[in-house]
Amino acid sequence: MVTLSEVAKLAHVTAATVSNVLRNREKVHPDTAARVLKAIDELGYRPNLNARALAEGRSSTLALMLSNISNPFYPEFVLAAERAARKSGHFLMVCNTDDNAETGRAYLNQIAGTLADGVLVMNTDIAISDLYASAMHNAPILLAMWEHPESPPTLPCIAVDFARAGALAAHHLLELGHRDVGLLIGDGCGGLQDARSNGFRAAMLAAGIEADPTAALQIRDSIDAGYAACMRLMANRPELSAIFATNDLLAIGAVQALITLGHAVPDDVSVIGITDIQLAHQVHPALTTVAIQTAAVAELSIERLIGLIQTPEHEPSMVLGPLPELVVRASTGPRRKR
């Protein structure tokens, strides 16, 4: 790697002058600056950003830690976060902790405060106390997609009202006349998606419909798991006229299971999910879902993280993200008597 000293030697100046050309050009005579820039160009010198970040006490890189990059929700969040970071002149590095708390802590130690100025953390298994300790000593940490706005964490966060998302799904199914609804509850990277199922159940109860524990299954957050669980649910409870899944992957798996079983969707059974991942509009029938506004939450998260880097907070604050919204597509319809 070409060093600053080699540039200085070629341009017949001191290393301090090269450094001034890079940072405070007004201090350097134009002729000298031109000579230095020519040497930089000839040698292909790249300022060592580690050194510069150290010298100036800042870098311009943010990190996003997430637990499972192969779950399509995360790449969609990454895409929007990276665009938002770039728009404000920051780079975004993504670290996949692979559903492993120890890996997560190792990444945090490697990057926080050194390679990255601030860290966005999404649903990793790292304990809040570990995150808190890192935030105190290294760089600001912001939790994105906090699922329980009613109980804020000890770190700054962007919360999403997932209980409301569940309630919106319930209202939609109730309006279509559904009473016998099966529940697929995801147990994913962020833990059990109970804010969503509790919100759903509370809205059903308010309409006089009590939850039937035998019509609910807790399963891992994947298409395969949704498929298998829906098969079990329909075998045990053939009278179900609708299925609510706490996320789109489960709902997409459930639709495939229903079609395999010979049930028409939505004519025989309606299906609704939560999130609105890209795949939700790409499958056929296209999935009705409650959009959690992934891109908007990602942008808000990047904006807040940059704010925390510029002005550290003494008391962690929670910001509520945009409200979830019902997106009606082709997988839900009026209940029909069979």
User: Residues in the site for a copy of itself, rule: CB under 8 A?
Assistant: 1-2, 43-46, 48-51, 53-54, 60-61, 63, 69-70, 72, 74-76, 78-79, 82-83, 86, 91-96, 98, 103, 106-107, 109-115, 133, 136-139, 223-224, 227, 253, 256, 259-260, 278-279, 282-284
Of the pair 1, 235, the CB lying nearest a copy of itself is at: 1
Of the pair 85, 195, the CB lying nearest a copy of itself is at: 85
Let me know how long the chain is.
338
User: Minimum distance between the CB of residue 192 and a copy of itself, rounded to whole angstroms?
Assistant: 22
CB atoms within 10 A of CB 184: 28
User: Minimum distance between the CB of residue 179 and a copy of itself, rounded to whole angstroms?
Assistant: 28
Of the pair 32, 114, the CB lying nearest a copy of itself is at: 114
Of the pair 42, 239, the CB lying nearest a copy of itself is at: 42
User: Minimum distance between the CB of residue 320 and a copy of itself, rounded to whole angstroms?
Assistant: 26
State which H helix or E strand residue 300 sits in.
Answer: helix 294-310
Of the pair 32, 100, the CB lying nearest a copy of itself is at: 100
d(CA 310, CA 158): 17
d(CA 41, CA 10): 11
Q: How many CA atoms lie within 13 A of 205 on its CB side?
A: 10
d(CA 26, CA 229): 68
Amino acid at 190: G
User: Minimum distance between the CB of residue 165 and a copy of itself, rounded to whole angstroms?
Assistant: 22
Beta bridge partners of 157: 143, 318
DSSP conformational letter for 208: T
CB atoms within 10 A of CB 59: 20
The answer to whether 180 touches 210, Cβ cutoff 8 Å, is: no
Of the pair 182, 253, the CB lying nearest a copy of itself is at: 253
User: Minimum distance between the CB of residue 85 and a copy of itself, rounded to whole angstroms?
Assistant: 10
User: Minimum distance between the CB of residue 65 and a copy of itself, rounded to whole angstroms?
Assistant: 11
